Structure 1
Amino acid sequence: MSGDIIPRDAVPPPRDGFVAAVEAIYDAAAVPERWPQALQEIADSFGDVGAIMIYQREDGGFGSICSPRLEAAQRDYEVGEWWRQDVRFSRSIERGAIARHDAVTDRDIASPEEMRTLPFYTQFLRGHGLGWFGGVGISPDPRVSVALSIQRSDQKQAWTEEELDRLSRIGRHVENALRLGIRLINAEASQLALSDALARVGVGVFLLAGDARVLFANPAGQALLGDGLVVAHGRLTARSETAREALQARIAEAAFGDAVARSGPPQPVLVPHPQRDGFLAVHILPVRPAGGGPVETLLAETVAIAVVTSSEADAPADPALVRDLFGLTLAEARLAALVGAGRPPREAGEQLGITEATARTTLKRVFQKTGTTRQSELTALLARMVVR
């Protein structure tokens, strides 16, 4: 196993790579095979070894993508069945539900004594020259849970609160890019031309030029056009003045903003959709195609991709939107979405993989942050905001 150990000088020194990481994330949004390199850029921005992204669908299906420098450790993790002893994995959902922030690290998962004695730490991690991790949960789709984890060398100190905050901000961009990316991964887009893959995804997708001209719209996107979101004079816009101005600003930022501006916190544009008694959430992904392959040819004039999702009647709220609107953690938002849709705390906890006691503790924080005191008030609040 010594051949798999990460030398101290194999990891680049810390650098101001946040912007570069964000650009790599959006480069991968429409090209799933670029995710390993994007994950490496994320790890490099912290001066760490590598990163891994694990996703699980509502139907139980799951998968993972890791950066190149973690491939050997990931193979050992699977072949050696270290996942059976991975306390990070087994405890992350329960411990993450009570954490005050979205990003967590080993001190939120295990005691110092456990980190000194458990075989997962002493044999697996140290055997690969690995130490502390930082992880963050993200929600690109209400039916898909994703965890982004960054692994650092055993020669580095523990994660600081500032680093965990930066990881949370990186996670928001990964979430935004995965609004499209996770659906392309599920559609096995690498086997298809991009236009064919986009036609198969279940959300609206519009490829936009700098002046908001629609260069391509998939069938799902065309079906969402109507009295809320429209194409006028060939440009994507909205009938509501507030939504129209916000949409124009997001597209202009993607087209003409500098790299620093594009790396700011991504926010969706909510477009009223009276036909469905709800709204459309428009997520703008900046695009900077490079190279001369077929994907780049299709994206030649594209500066932004608009991913449009529709609210669903009687469905739980989108946790990511609940989080952003009410300042919750993602774990709190996931619970709020289920409880707000009428699930009892015990049932909601079971669905999320946490105990009833943890669910009730988390729900108290949700009530405090949303200014509600009981489940019926939370349900009414989410219904009034039409956050579905």
Structure 2
Amino acid sequence: MDDRKQLSSLIGDIYDAVFDPDLRTDVLDRIAGFTGGHSGSLLLKHSLSDSENLYCYIGNAPGTLQAYSESYPKLDSTADPGSVGVDQIVSAVDLVPYDEFRRGRFYREWAQPHGWGDIASAVIERSATSCTFLSVARQETSGLVDDQMRHRMALVIPHVRRALLIGKTIHHKEAEAICFTDVFDGLSAGMVLVDASGRIVHANSVGGALLEAADFLRKGACGRLVAGDAATNAALRDILVAASAGDTVLGVKGTALPLTAHNGERYIAHVLPLTSGARRGVGLGYNAVAALFVRKAALESSPAEVIGEMYKLTPAELRVLLAIVDIGGVPEVAASLGVAATTVKTHLSRLFEKTGVGRQADLVKLVAGFSTPLAN
């Protein structure tokens, strides 16, 4: 293979290695071979600590690799890029007199036992706190780093840098998606993202469980979201078509869709359009046009201790408040708690005073406002 074909093939493999980590050591090996070296490394140094993150090093056994990453970067004069400019290709001779390099511990304990006579290094990228550089070791029998080796490294370095940048971008996006997924999976409501045709793009853990149950919502043919009865399903289709046309059609706040399970339990699906630019920016799938948030049409449990602390309620007052929410009127609460109705009325009067509301219905709304959106 001539040099042009060899370089073209190598460049393709450099970018392929972004997506397949198993290719990375082989790519570094090929970089070393193309430039006239013996083995290559990609090293990240942190200026704020003594640690080095060795991306990969080839031509050596795992044991010696660990020894290098733990000890020798601190001794390796060629691994000190502080004074080296980006893209500048330097050898050991450029950084330290060669006789001094050969007398050092790094050469005697690492380079010489591995047959290295010189090392060509270049800074790939630099930040305020870190520096990433590519190094290619040259066998002692091949002589010192020469102009041809520098030239060939110069052909490769821009692609290594671009591949690193692509890899970081992909990693950032993956981390961002994982973060959103974790947040969505923590919701008590089921969430399902769908496209204009009703195809399910993503579902959080609660939403996935609802679909798996295949009761009032299920995953139908071609992965489409299907409601339990025909009328509700037709309404869902109309809502999704409207969502795909934009927020102005469906409304920025979306709409609600009532759902009924086979056992008679009531659910509500709030449909939020995702077709505005801002909402698309945080969507897990850019082809999603709407998000359905599905929850049971019932008062969710609220953190009683938080309510009690906020309104300075006594334990007795808090018990009465929660009983009013769960049970109903004064006679029923009195019977449930085993106290006189007058006692309940006294606590109720104090609840009105401390919370600033004047009706039992308002107390129910107040408690509902404390319900957690997070799954238990």
TM-score range, shorter chain: 0.3 to 0.5
- TM-score norm. by structure 1 comes to 0.39
Highest CA radius of gyration, 1 or 2?
A: 2
- TM-score norm. by structure 2 comes to 0.40
